Amino acid sequence: MIVTRDRAGLVKERETLGVGAGGATLGLVPTMGALHEGHRSLLRLAHEKADHVAVSIFVNPLQFGPAEDYSRYPRTFDADLEVCAEEGVSLVFAPAPEDMYLPDRQVGVSAGRMGAIVEGEFRPGHLDGVLTVVLKLFNLVRPDLAVFGQKDAQQLAMIRRMVADLDVPVSIVGAPTVREPDGLALSSRNRYLSRDDRAVALALSRALAAGAARRTPEEVRRAARAVLAAEPALAVDYLVLVHPATFEEVGDDHSGEAILAVAAKVGSTRLIDNVTVTL
């Protein structure tokens, strides 16, 4: 396994792996580290689709708001390298922030209207920061495909949008959300939760399951809302039922697939989750 912090070394490392002119394909799994079973499932999916798997580990300052948890975000580099080695990763790219962004940086990717709704309404600039770093990682690593989790459904939809709008030559693969046996979606931020917090956090996946069992938009929203309302310790940012590709709210007459997405704070920890609903 090649581990590099050096962006300049990436071209050479690709050659070593026989990627590109050598004929081998490369799948990239972008992460912020603190790797868990959810990340492992992405690595396994990347292995199924590409000859070699690259992982980036980079806590991207651009996607955190000033009052968010950038400085206290979990950083577990040594354990992450073990996970990568166990999962047969060929290349780990872990740049330092000062090597990713020029001090006089001016240009970034704009997530447009879709970046300002739902998650974007509560985290202004977050999705611009995500798209900017993902495009940079694509340009540096030059993968054939990249795998992203459905756990961050709006992020995945926006990356598909960026690739289509900007003709980015990378295939985007979505991966299902990995959950604890009791339903809690795995997240690097779950380690902030106390035992009591964790019990409260379960209301998110319970609400989504209650909604997903219904068949009309009105019933879905009502069933999910009732579960959230029964958990007063949860500070809900949003519960929305949206089109999978645009994240616009679906109308009451919508049929087919939609995404039921929720974001809420448990104490100081903000969690998001979503599920696909068939209407």
Residue 23 assigned ligand-binding role: no
The CB-of-39 to ligand AMP minimum distance in angstroms stands at 5
The CB-of-216 to ligand AMP minimum distance in angstroms stands at 28
From CA 32, how far away is CA 90, in angstroms rounded? 18
Nearest to ligand AMP of 90, 205 (CB atom):
205
Residue 57 has a CB neighbour count (10 Å cut-off) of 24
Nearest to ligand AMP of 58, 227 (CB atom):
58
Nearest to ligand AMP of 175, 217 (CB atom):
175
What are the strands, taking DSSP E only, across the chain?
Answer: 2-4, 26-31, 52-57, 91-93, 145-149, 171-175, 234-242, 257-266, 269-278
229 touches 258 (CB < 8 A): no
> Which of 39, 47, 52, 126 is labelled catalytic?
39
Q: Is 178 in the site for ligand AMP (CB under 6 A)?
A: yes
Question: Measured at the alpha carbon of residue 32, what is the angle toward residues 224 and 142, in degrees to the nearest 5?
Answer: 115
Q: Nearest to residue 201, comparing CAs of 178, 234, 230?
A: 234
39 counts as catalytic: yes
* Residue ranges in 34-93 that form contacts with ligand AMP under rule CB under 6 A: 38-39, 41-42
* Residue ranges in 186-215 that form contacts with ligand AMP under rule CB under 6 A: 186-188
Q: Which of 62, 83, 135, 185 binds ligand AMP (CB under 6 A)?
A: 185
The CB-of-177 to ligand AMP minimum distance in angstroms stands at 4
Q: Is 146 in the site for ligand AMP (CB under 6 A)?
A: no
Residue 33 assigned ligand-binding role: yes
From CA 230, how far away is CA 235, in angstroms rounded? 12
Backbone dihedral angles phi then psi of residue 181, each to the nearest 5 degrees: -55, -30
Token pair of 72, please?
Answer: 């206290």
Q: Which of 152, 157, 163, 259 binds ligand AMP (CB under 6 A)?
A: 152
From CA 268, how far away is CA 200, in angstroms rounded? 13
Applying CB under 6 A, the span of 30-38, 48-56, 164-172, 218-226 interacting with ligand AMP comes to: 30-38
Which residues are designated catalytic? Answer: 39
What residue ranges bind ligand AMP (CB under 6 A)?
31-32, 38-39, 41-42, 148-149, 151-152, 175, 177-178, 185-188
